[in-house]
Homo-oligomer: A and B are copies of this chain.
Amino acid sequence: MNRYRQSADFLRLVLLAGVLLASAAIRAQDALPSWNDGPAKAEILKFVDEVTAEGTSSFVAPSERIAVFDNDGTLWAEQPMYFQLAFALDRVRAMAKDHPEWKGKQPFDAAIKGDMKALAASGEKGIAALVAASHAGMSTDDFARTVTDWFATARHPKTRQPYSSMVYQPMLELLGYLRSKGFKTFIVSGGGVEFMRAFAEKTYGIPPEQVVGSSGVLKWEMRGNAPVLVKQPKIEFIDDGPGKPVGIQRFIGRRPVFAFGNSDGDQQMLEWTAAAGGGPRFMGLVHHTDAKREWAYDRKSSIGKLDKALDEALARKWTVVDMSTDWNRVFPFDP
């Protein structure tokens, strides 16, 4: 073989490698176009490749491909207040005249006065209390209608967009990508389960039966000849912090192999996922680092505080998404 033939072969090899690399890049770009090439995207793709590789020790059967996502701050924004809090405030204000007993009592007083600092400090427990109390006596059907109506008209104070448009485009792509790879995607959130179900299917493609959340007590009643489930002013379950693994066990009954959160309220969910047997597991956090396109907050935020979970993620080499560098687009309505 002469030197000319040898160098031609070498050139062909280089070209072939280039084509393969380019097609791999295109494939990845197709699945997650709003994710910049970087460690977060690479870790997602690597994990999915591993668990779907049949005949390998890392293979996970489709029935076990359970992926769980926090909602507030992970799938959609949570600033300047949890969106469900904005909904609850609108409800509480509309109902205040019929509830003199709310006066001077927190978190109701803060809600009526619009004291956002006091409200933010009440956290997801405060929201749950507001929702439970302000909707006591309402049937589940009426509640679902009220939420749907609110989404149709309410607008975010900063972007003036409908709240259901304030979802993260890269996470929508990730949900679709995982489902295309045989994963069953679940929401596991501190938000109210019936609030989230009113938009989760349309917005995320996640059906009601795959939404796990906080809940109030329901009571079966006959109204006329028709049975209704009536919301009671009592919290039943808070799906936050250590409540998240409990909610996963109660509602899903399997350990997730993939979990994404953004705050200390997700720490136990990530730990529960990490501890699930051998084989690859994916634990991810969205780090809000983008004051320009979204918000920048972490260790000292009263909403979506990310402190201990960030330390643990860094120590255990979990995936931490830097919103400002990992995402080339944040919201679907971004240019």
The answer to whether the Cβ of A297 comes within 8 Å of any Cβ in the partner chain is no
**Is A55 an interface residue when CB atoms closer than 8 A count as contact?**
no
Decide yes or no: A254 and B209 within 8 Å by CB, A227-B272, A268-B227 being known contacts: yes
- The answer to whether B194 and A140 touch across the interface, beta carbons within 8 angstroms, is no
For A253, list chain B residues within 8 Å (CB). Answer: 193-194, 197, 208-209, 211
A218/B246 in contact, CB under 8 A: yes
A220 touches B140 (CB 8 A): no
Interface residues of A in 241-273 (CB under 8 A from B): 242-243, 245-246, 249-254, 268, 271-272
Bound together, the chains give a CA A229 to CA B242 distance in angstroms of 9
CB distance from A273 to the nearest CB of B (A): 10
- Cβ contact within 8 Å between A208 and B275: no
Q: Identify the closest chain B residue to A140 (Cβ).
A: B249
- Report which of B201, B215, B226 forms a contact with A250, defined as CB distance below 8 A: B215
A227: chain B residues within 8 A (beta carbon): 245, 268, 271-272, 275
CB pair A249–B229 under 8 Å, yes or no, is: yes
Cα A218 to Cα B243 with chains together (Å):
9
- CB-defined contacts of A2 to chain B, threshold 8 Å: none
Partner of A246, one of B184, B197, B220: B220
Interface string of A201-233 (1 = CB under 8 A from B): 100000111110001001110000011010000
**CB pair A252 B209 closer than 8 Å:** yes
- Provide the residues of chain B in CB contact with A63, threshold 8 Å: 201, 207
Q: For residue A207, which residues in chain B have a CB less than 8 angstroms away from its CB?
A: 63, 254
- The prevalent SS among residues of A at the interface is helix
Produce 1/0 per residue, A272-290, CB < 8 A to B.
Answer: 1001000000000000000
Taking a contact as CB atoms closer than 8 A, the residue among B209, B211, B254 that contacts A184 in the complex is B209
CB distance from A111 to the nearest CB of B (A): 26
CA separation between A272 and B254, bound complex, in Å? 28
A192 to chain B, nearest CB (A): 12
* A66 CA to B208 CA, complexed, in Å: 11
Contacting residues, chain B, for A246 (C-beta < 8 A): 218-220, 229
Residues of B within 8 A of A186 (CB): 209
Known contacts A194-B253, A226-B275, A227-B275, then 15 further A-B pairs from the complex at CB < 8 Å, ordered by chain A residue: A66-B209, A140-B249, A186-B209, A193-B250, A207-B254, A209-B209, A209-B252, A209-B254, A211-B253, A219-B242, A220-B243, A220-B268, A227-B245, A227-B271, A229-B245
User: Can you name 23 A-B residue pairings with CB atoms under 8 Å?
Assistant: A63-B207, A186-B209, A194-B253, A197-B253, A207-B254, A209-B209, A209-B251, A209-B253, A211-B253, A218-B246, A218-B249, A219-B242, A220-B242, A220-B243, A220-B245, A220-B246, A220-B268, A227-B245, A227-B268, A227-B272, A227-B275, A229-B245, A251-B251
Minimum-distance CB pairs A-B, first 9? A208-B253, A220-B242, A209-B252, A197-B253, A218-B246, A208-B254, A227-B271, A229-B249, A227-B275
